[in-house]
Copies of this chain bind each other. A is one copy, B any other.
Amino acid sequence: MCRFLAYTGEPVFLDTLLIEPASSLVSQSLAAREAKTLVNGDGCGVGWYGARPEPGIYRGTLPAWSDANLASLCHQVAAPMFLAHVRSATSGEVSMANCHPFAYGRHLFMHNGQIGGYERIRRSVEAMVPDDLYASRRGNGDSEAIFLAALGHGLDVDPLAALTRTLAACTRMMHANAITSALRFTAILADGDTLHAIRWASDDHPPTLYWRHLDTGIAIASEPFGDSADCWEAVPPGSAMTATRGAVAFSDFAVA
């Protein structure tokens, strides 16, 4: 399992959330409380919205705790919306191209979970990626494939519906291939204005997802962190949380 953090609100320096808090994402990358794999040492990445229409991206293959560039970047850059991810590889080798978040245009996407038996349906999943996006595929993991497929399913227009359609198609492929392991999908999708957080699985074990109000905005994370860990609320399984300009809304997220 990977771990991640997303923020939206007034601009804050990235390190105030990613590095300084007790059990922050970077220290979490070394030892965590709830995740099932012990270590997230298979690369890390941050994406942030700044003065440009497209987000900035930094991704590296070093473990987060030893990446001096990541530390300096997070200390210098303040942003009103950002995503950060530390990876524990389940599909796709350790390479920059397989590090989250993934970017396309204004969109950023990161994922915690996995498609059961992915290697057996990889070809079918990649077949959903539209032609004009196929060329931009750089990695070889399941997460990037889901993101690009969802872009082909209308993520630009209706993100949650596009993800639902994509996951439904993946579920059908898994059935068709008699794959019995689960599809687990806890993910963050952002475009600079709106941030969607989804927690869903085909079984009863969607990866954890928490959120809380901060003084300056809203944080969403795979695990609580900071001194006041009790202030975090779980995002319920089978639901999506949407944060836009300070307002938070919840909706069911079901995959037919």
Looking at A64-72, A153-161, A197-205, A242-250, the stretch in contact with chain B turns out to be A64-72
Separation of A78 and B138 alpha carbons in the complex (Å) = 28
Contact of A59 (CB < 8 Å), options: B13, B31, B38, B69: B69
**Residues of B close to A66: CB separation below 8 A:** 41-42, 61, 89, 93-94
> Contact at B58–A61, with CB atoms within 8 Å?
no
**Residues of B close to A106: CB separation below 8 A:** none
Give chain A's interface residue range (CB within 8 Å of chain B): 35 or more
Q: In the complex, what's the smallest C-beta–C-beta distance from A213 to chain B, in angstroms?
A: 25
**Residues of B close to A60: CB separation below 8 A:** 69
Tell me the number of copies of this protein: 4
**Residues of B close to A42: CB separation below 8 A:** 63, 66
Separation of A65 and B181 alpha carbons in the complex (Å) = 25
With contacts A13-B52, A38-B39, A62-B94 known, what are 19 further pairs, Cβ within 8 A? Answer: A31-B39, A39-B39, A41-B65, A42-B66, A52-B75, A52-B76, A57-B69, A58-B69, A58-B73, A60-B69, A66-B89, A68-B96, A69-B69, A73-B73, A76-B77, A93-B138, A95-B95, A120-B135, A138-B140
